[in-house]
């Protein structure tokens, strides 16, 4: 309790009116209570993936998220206190610590893709503290298993490293139900995907609570990303920083023949029920993932060519009226099940081998097999598998990452980035290992294949 005595006067000698009744001569009394002393350290309230529901489904290029119940000391978020491992092997990683309200959120991503169908552990050491030095109650371990799918092709549409042709939301005639002064979009160097260039893109939104229909169309009007044409053999991906608002997000694409684009098609709505970075995707081969947009398409991907139209948002019952989400690395990918390290060490290959593709000649696809042996001191080798035309021009990169010892099979399609290859002779080349290391640890081999019509 704080008391200001009634004898206190102003500069004119008039006594204090402490209770505000218009009559001077009474004290002012302030009653207040302090909060309990903070003696507890940060507690993990949410992780992605977790040790139960995400087991076996975590994407090999996904982002690990840890949400704490309070602000943590950024100096204690370091590689000694945050440890990612598979078995006894520590994995190199990038980390970002951000703030949401009065909570800290940690995002973790590796530079190289994780191994498919492999168990990992993330350990958060007790040495992680809050901002006044209270440590976590104990070490915490999160165990998860990656998906059995690895990437066979990746093509970037926009990594937001340069300014492009994304409109402000209100400039699209399809946008409705927003408050213009609270809605905008743009580029940022503050929020970006870990282990990637330091650039991202944001949509800040504020819904008009009295509007009956609400839609934000973040339209791509032109430029190089707009000119990337693809077909339904791809999966469309984007990394999305969620604000936990329970609003909804979806992809929108144009469809046509490559010259005329008469229709729009959209993915199913995805509820933004997460915090931090999350890899979101639309498998264009799966007809159950297609929705419809106000009669602008038929809900079927039945044209040969596609290109990006927009990102879109809408509200949902109980969702926040305002917030901000971020995007990074919109891309097209293909995935395949790839065999990794054999469980029996005696079955590990002893030599690098690049096999002849099958079938050959081929149309529209062919399989390319290769093996990575257990030579040198490490089971991991950096592998590049590329396809070239007869002039030596690179046509496609099928593999460009570290791979464990094992036997692999990749599929090559005659349609690359939405472009149909001409019939004729092509070459595929495997590079593996490091040429600077001792003999037997590097490998280069090229083979010929024929595409027919």
Residue 163 lies in a domain: yes
pLDDT confidence of 344, banded at 50, 70, 90? Answer: very low
Higher-confidence position of 402 and 307: 307
pLDDT confidence of 372, banded at 50, 70, 90? Answer: confident
Residue 38 lies in a domain: no
Residue 159 lies in a domain: yes
**How many domains are there within the chain?**
4
- In the 3-class helix/strand/coil scheme, how is the chain assigned residue by residue? CEEECCCCECCCCCECECCCCCCCCECEEECCCCCCCCCCCCCEEEEECCCCCCCCCECCCCCEEEEECCCECHHHCCCCCEEEEECCEECCCEEEEEEECCEEEEEEECCCCCCCCCEEEEEECCCCEECCCCECCCCEEEEEEECCEEEEEEEEEECCCCCCCECCHHHCCCCECECHHHCEEEEECCCCCCCCCCCEEEEEEEECCCCCCCEEEEEECCCCHHHCCECCCCEEEEEEEEECCCCEEEEEEEEECCCCCCEEEEECCEECCCEEEEEEEEECCCHHHEECCCCCCCCCCCCCEEEEEEEEEECCCCCCCEEEEEEEEEEEEEEEECCCCCCCHHHCCCCCEECCCECCCECCEEEEEEEECCCCCCCEEEEEEEEEECCCCEEEEEEEEEEECEEEEEEEECEECCEECCCEEEEEEEEEECCCCCCCCEEEEEEEEEECC
Tokens of 136: 């976590």
Residue 133 lies in a domain: yes
Are 48 and 63 part of one and the same domain? Answer: yes
Higher-confidence position of 438 and 144: 144
Tokens of 188: 């940022």
Per-residue pLDDT, 35: 67
Percent of the residues in the chain that have a pLDDT greater than 90, as a whole number: 63
- As a whole number of Å, the end-to-end CA separation of the chain is 89
Are 325 and 438 part of one and the same domain? Answer: no
Are 103 and 216 part of one and the same domain? Answer: no
Per-residue pLDDT, 348: 52
Are 185 and 123 part of one and the same domain? Answer: no
Label residue 326 exposed, middle or buried (CB < 10 Å: 0-12, 13-18, 19+): buried
Of the listed ranges 69-73, 144-148, 205-209, 437-441, the one predicted with least confidence: 437-441
pLDDT confidence of 438, banded at 50, 70, 90? Answer: very low
Are 366 and 402 part of one and the same domain? Answer: yes
* pLDDT digits 0-9 by tens, 42-94: 999 999 998 666 566 899 999 999 999 999 999 999 999 999 999 888 999 99
pLDDT at 222 over 60: yes
List Cα–Cα distances, 26 to 2, 3, 10, 450, in angstroms.
14, 11, 14, 99
pLDDT at 193 over 60: yes
Are 191 and 299 part of one and the same domain? Answer: yes
CATH number, domain with residue 397: 2.60.40.1930
pLDDT at 353 over 90: no
Of the listed ranges 34-43, 205-214, 240-249, 433-442, the one predicted with least confidence: 433-442
Residue 185 lies in a domain: yes
* pLDDT digits 0-9 by tens, 268-313: 999 999 999 999 999 999 999 999 998 888 999 999 999 999 999 9
* pLDDT digits 0-9 by tens, 169-185: 999 999 999 999 999 99
Question: What's the mean per-residue pLDDT of the chain?
Answer: 89
Are 181 and 79 part of one and the same domain? Answer: no
Of the listed ranges 9-18, 157-166, 420-429, the one predicted with least confidence: 9-18
Q: Which of 147, 167, 202 is the last residue of a domain?
A: 147
Are 438 and 309 part of one and the same domain? Answer: no
pLDDT at 345 over 60: no
Expressed as residue numbers, the domain containing 16 is 1-33
Q: Which of 276, 309, 336 is the last residue of a domain?
A: 336
Residue 39 lies in a domain: no
Are 84 and 214 part of one and the same domain? Answer: no
Are 186 and 313 part of one and the same domain? Answer: yes
- Give the distance, in angstroms, between the CA of residue 203 and the centroid of all CA atoms in the same chain: 16
Residue 426 in contact with residue 390, Cβ under 8 Å? yes
Are 234 and 184 part of one and the same domain? Answer: yes
Residue 80 lies in a domain: yes
Of the listed ranges 86-95, 221-230, 311-320, 426-435, the one predicted with least confidence: 426-435
The β-bridge relationship of strands 305-314 and 216-219 is antiparallel
Residue 195 lies in a domain: yes
CATH number, domain with residue 193: 2.60.120.260
pLDDT at 356 over 80: yes
**Cis-peptide into 237, omega within 30 deg:** no
pTM over 0.75: no
Q: Which of 122, 147, 172 is the last residue of a domain?
A: 147
Report, as an integer, the average pLDDT of 412-431. 90
**Rounded-to-10 torsion of CA 275, 244, 206, 314:** 110
Report, as an integer, the average pLDDT of 341-355. 59
Per-residue pLDDT, 220: 97
Are 133 and 188 part of one and the same domain? Answer: no
* pLDDT digits 0-9 by tens, 96-136: 999 998 999 999 999 889 998 889 999 999 999 999 999 99
Per-residue pLDDT, 37: 66
Report, as an integer, the average pLDDT of 223-245. 94
């Amino acid at each position: 309790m704080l008391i200001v005595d009634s004898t206190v006067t102003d500069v004119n000698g008039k006594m204090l009116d402490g209770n505000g009744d218009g009559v001077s001569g009474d004290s002012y009394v302030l009653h207040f209570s302090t909060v309990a002393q903070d003696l507890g350290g940060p507690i993990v309230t949410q992780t992605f993936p977790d040790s139960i529901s995400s087991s076996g489904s975590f994407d090999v290029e996904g982002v690990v998220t840890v949400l704490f119940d309070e602000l943590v000391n950024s100096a204690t978020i370091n590689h000694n206190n945050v440890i990612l491992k598979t078995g006894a092997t520590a994995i190199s990683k990038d980390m970002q610590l951000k703030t949401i309200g009065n909570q800290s959120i940690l995002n973790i991503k590796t530079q190289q893709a994780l191994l498919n169908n492999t168990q990992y552990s993330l350990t958060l050491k007790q040495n992680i503290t809050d901002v006044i030095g209270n440590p976590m109650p104990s070490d915490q371990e999160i165990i998860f298993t990656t998906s059995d799918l690895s990437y066979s092709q990746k093509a970037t549409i926009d990594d937001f490293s340069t300014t492009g042709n994304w409109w402000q939301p209100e400039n699209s005639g399809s946008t409705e139900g927003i408050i213009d002064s609270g809605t905008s979009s743009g580029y940022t160097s503050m929020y970006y995907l870990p282990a990637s260039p330091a650039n991202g893109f944001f949509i800040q939104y504020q819904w008009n609570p009295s509007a009956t229909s609400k839609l934000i169309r973040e339209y791509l009007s032109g430029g190089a990303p707009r000119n990337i044409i693809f077909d339904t053999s791809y999966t469309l991906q984007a990394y999305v920083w969620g604000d936990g608002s329970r609003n909804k997000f979806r992809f929108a694409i144009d469809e046509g023949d490559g010259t005329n684009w008469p229709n729009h098609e959209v993915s199913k709505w995805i509820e933004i029920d997460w915090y931090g970075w999350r890899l979101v995707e639309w498998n264009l081969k799966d007809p159950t993932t297609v929705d419809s947009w106000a009669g602008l398409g038929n809900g079927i991907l039945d044209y040969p060519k596609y290109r990006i139209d927009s990102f879109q948002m809408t509200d949902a019952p109980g969702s926040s009226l305002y917030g901000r989400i971020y995007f990074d690395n919109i891309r097209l990918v293909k995935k395949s099940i790839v065999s990794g390290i054999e469980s029996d060490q005696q079955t590990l290959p002893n030599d690098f081998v690049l096999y002849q593709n099958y079938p050959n000649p081929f149309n529209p696809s062919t399989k390319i097999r290769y093996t990575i042996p257990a030579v040198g001191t490490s089971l991991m080798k950096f592998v590049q598998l590329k396809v070239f035309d007869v002039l030596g021009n690179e046509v496609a990169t099928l593999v460009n990452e570290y791979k464990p010892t094992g036997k692999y099979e990749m599929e090559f399609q005659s349609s690359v980035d939405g472009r149909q290859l001409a019939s004729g002779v092509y070459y595929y080349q495997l590079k593996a290992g490091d040429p600077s290391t001792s003999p037997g640890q590097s490998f280069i081999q090229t083979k010929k294949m024929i595409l027919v019509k």
